[in-house]
Chains A and B, each alone.
Chain A
Amino acid sequence: MRFLMIFLLVFSLSFSENLDEFEDEFKSSKKQDSFESYNRAMTKFNDFVFEYALDPITNGYSYIVPETPRIGVANFFENLLFPIRFINNLLQFKFQNSFDETLRFLANTIFGVAGLGDVATNVYNIPKHNEDFGQTLGFYGVGSGAHFVLPFLGPSNFRDIVGLGGDYFAQPISYVKPPIASFGIKTYDKINFVSLHKEEYKSFKKDALDLYIFLRDMYEQNRNKLIKE
């Protein structure tokens, strides 16, 4: 015990000088979470949907469809989102990025067989520049607004919900008729995506002391990083 005390004393001394600097670095902008009780309930709901619907559905799907074609499907849908990335890079004056995205789209569509293969990344090494309308709003200084958990879609905030509206109109699948078919295709895209990444969600979930705060923080920090890029 004495040993531990000495140990403690030593390191507490050696850090006390510069700890304030760290505190500034980690100081969280104390944001009001006006929808906390709703958000918590919706997080529970979404997690329930994941555990009892998405997880078993994607298990079955993965059992039937091997991983390689599933990655192909993910690439295909990702390639189709090209207009969102192109427009939003332009709106943020990132002309080189828009150009890269155009090249990527052409390469993947032509040589990647309608986007099934991501040859732009794997063969031509053209960097990807994900930008969406939420990020563009952030780029022009629009604050995130209150955090808001959407049913099925998960964490979001007021700015990004407005952004989702823009994203909706900039993706070809939204124009598929009838609307139910469009919705069906988007749902399939999501299920395919979840089948590739659900283990990550499960593993990160284990790290959470408080699932809602954990997901909220991850979402907001990640979005801030994307906007800064």
Chain B
Amino acid sequence: MRLFSVFILIFSLSFGGIKESEISSTMQEKINLSLTYLKDNALSKENKAEKIFALFNEIFDFNLMSQLSLANDWKKLNNAQKTEFIQVFEQRLKQSFLDKLDLYTNEEIFVKKLQKPKQNRIILPTTLQNKDKQIDISYKFYLSKNDWLIYDVDILGVSVIQTYRNQIVGFLEKDGFENLIKKLKESQISTDE
């Protein structure tokens, strides 16, 4: 039975992405839905986040994102550490998104034209119209088997993964893996204040 559920899980994971032709329309739809949730005052912040995560969970490849943010240090970890890191890192990214919800004040998001810099990479640029300026947010997809998954997000040209990578390299060098996990978890708790 357990083996069976593993199969189901793997199966569902590998089919989580979107087809190339549907990236724009699917993302537009998901973004529109997110905006409806965000504007719905009857929902609590946590409820909003939960609903939005449910929309995007299947197209974000958190495993790959974790792996990329550790760069070469990934190979030095044992399997238990890898699993722990993926879990903590995914939570951290979600927590950071949850915090950002406080900043939301009725902005609109516009989806722009897809770019395909390489055969197996697609970038979906979007613009968020803020109080007095526009914020460019790009979703970066890669081709995983036959479907497309998000492996990074650029905000104003700043790659989330790249920024984590550069911080983590130095952190691991100085403080080691256990402290990194502690640090990643720590900020999750402190956000409750």
Lowest 7 CB-CB distances: which A-B pairs, in order? A225-B157, A209-B167, A221-B158, A210-B167, A218-B158, A217-B163, A213-B167
B159 CB contact (under 8 Å) in A78, A203, A213, A221? A221
The answer to whether A225 and B6 touch across the interface, beta carbons within 8 angstroms, is no
Set of chain A residues within 8 Å of B167, measured between Cβ atoms: 208-210, 213-214, 217
Set of chain A residues within 8 Å of B68, measured between Cβ atoms: 22, 26
Residue A140 CB within 8 A of the other chain: no
Residue B10 CB within 8 A of the other chain: yes
Per-position contact with B for A189-228: 1 when CB-CB < 8 Å, else 0? 0000000100110010011111001100110011011100
Set of chain B residues within 8 Å of A226, measured between Cβ atoms: 157
Name the interface size band of chain B: 35 or more
Per-position contact with A for B48-88: 1 when CB-CB < 8 Å, else 0? 00000000000000011001100100000001101100000
Per-position contact with A for B81-101: 1 when CB-CB < 8 Å, else 0? 011000000000000100110
The answer to whether B171 and A7 touch across the interface, beta carbons within 8 angstroms, is no
17 other A-B residue contacts (CB within 8 Å) besides A26-B159, A208-B167 = A7-B9, A11-B13, A22-B68, A26-B71, A28-B166, A128-B134, A196-B132, A199-B103, A206-B99, A213-B166, A214-B167, A217-B158, A217-B163, A217-B166, A221-B157, A221-B158, A225-B156
Residue B161 CB within 8 A of the other chain: yes
Nearest to A67 among chain B residues (CB) is B131
Residues from 128 to 158 in A contacting B, C-beta threshold 8 Å:
128
Given known contacts A3-B2, A71-B132, A18 and B162 CB-to-CB distance under 8 angstroms: no
Determine how close the nearest CB of chain B comes to the CB of A157; give it in whole angstroms. 15
Residue A180 CB within 8 A of the other chain: no
The answer to whether A78 and B132 touch across the interface, beta carbons within 8 angstroms, is yes
Set of chain B residues within 8 Å of A1, measured between Cβ atoms: 80
Residues from 127 to 171 in B contacting A, C-beta threshold 8 Å:
131-132, 134, 142, 144-145, 151, 154, 156-159, 161-168, 170-171
Nearest to B144 among chain A residues (CB) is A14
The answer to whether B163 and A218 touch across the interface, beta carbons within 8 angstroms, is yes
Determine how close the nearest CB of chain A comes to the CB of B68; give it in whole angstroms. 6
The answer to whether A6 and B183 touch across the interface, beta carbons within 8 angstroms, is no
Instruction: Report how far A204 CA is from B144 CA in the complex, Å.
Output: 30
Residues from 154 to 204 in A contacting B, C-beta threshold 8 Å:
196, 199-200, 203
The answer to whether A209 and B132 touch across the interface, beta carbons within 8 angstroms, is no
Set of chain B residues within 8 Å of A8, measured between Cβ atoms: 79, 82-83
Residue A75 CB within 8 A of the other chain: yes
Instruction: Report how far A199 CA is from B99 CA in the complex, Å.
Output: 11
The answer to whether A22 and B151 touch across the interface, beta carbons within 8 angstroms, is yes
- Please, could you name 24 A-B residue pairs with CB atoms under 8 Å apart, sorted by A? A3-B2, A4-B83, A7-B9, A8-B79, A8-B82, A14-B14, A15-B67, A18-B142, A22-B151, A23-B71, A26-B161, A28-B162, A199-B103, A203-B100, A206-B96, A206-B190, A208-B167, A209-B168, A209-B184, A217-B166, A217-B167, A218-B163, A221-B162, A225-B154
Instruction: Report how far A212 CA is from B102 CA in the complex, Å.
Output: 24
The answer to whether A6 and B6 touch across the interface, beta carbons within 8 angstroms, is yes
Determine how close the nearest CB of chain B comes to the CB of A75; give it in whole angstroms. 6
Per-position contact with B for A89-127: 1 when CB-CB < 8 Å, else 0? 000000000000000000000000000001000000000
The answer to whether B158 and A15 touch across the interface, beta carbons within 8 angstroms, is no
Given known contacts A206-B190, A224-B157, A11 and B63 CB-to-CB distance under 8 angstroms: yes
Residue B187 CB within 8 A of the other chain: yes
Set of chain B residues within 8 Å of A10, measured between Cβ atoms: 10
Residue B106 CB within 8 A of the other chain: no
Residue A19 CB within 8 A of the other chain: yes
Determine how close the nearest CB of chain A comes to the CB of B167; give it in whole angstroms. 4
Nearest to B163 among chain A residues (CB) is A217
Given known contacts A6-B6, A206-B187, A75 and B162 CB-to-CB distance under 8 angstroms: no
Residue B191 CB within 8 A of the other chain: yes
Residue A74 CB within 8 A of the other chain: yes
Q: For A28, A75, A118, A209, which residue has the most chain B Cβ atoms within 10 angstroms?
A: A209
